[in-house]
Amino acid sequence: MACVMFDKHLRLCYNPAVMDGKLRRIREKRLLTQEELARLSGLTLWTISRIETGAHKPRFSTIKRLAQALGVEPEKLVEKVKG
């Protein structure tokens, strides 16, 4: 589990096994392919694929890029833990 401070009152923690399902569901709900999400986020197709299969644990900067490309807040892609 990786954690980052989202603001001074909220620590966001995420588990790649949980994030991959959320990322895929949101991407598919928006009718985007992995290739389209890669282009919109500025990430590689390889990175998107590895995140979605749970083979890659992304940094929070990557989560922010994905969230922006999908039009959601970063916390929609991760598990929240108040800290």
pTM of the full predicted structure?
Answer: 0.81
Q: Identify which has the larger pLDDT, 42 or 3.
A: 42
* pLDDT the model gives residue 81: 57
User: Which CATH number goes with the domain that contains 30?
Assistant: 1.10.260.40
pLDDT in tens, 41-82: 999 999 999 999 888 888 888 988 999 999 999 888 876 655
Domain count, the chain: 1
Contact 11, 52 (CB under 8 A): no
Q: Which residues of 15-50 are buried (b: 16+ CB within 10 A; e: fewer)?
A: ebeebbebbbebbeeeebebeebbebbebeeebbeb
Q: Is the dihedral of CA 57, 45, 79, 24 positive or negative?
A: negative
Residue type, 2: A
User: Where in the sequence is the domain holding 15, given as residue range(s)?
Assistant: 2-82
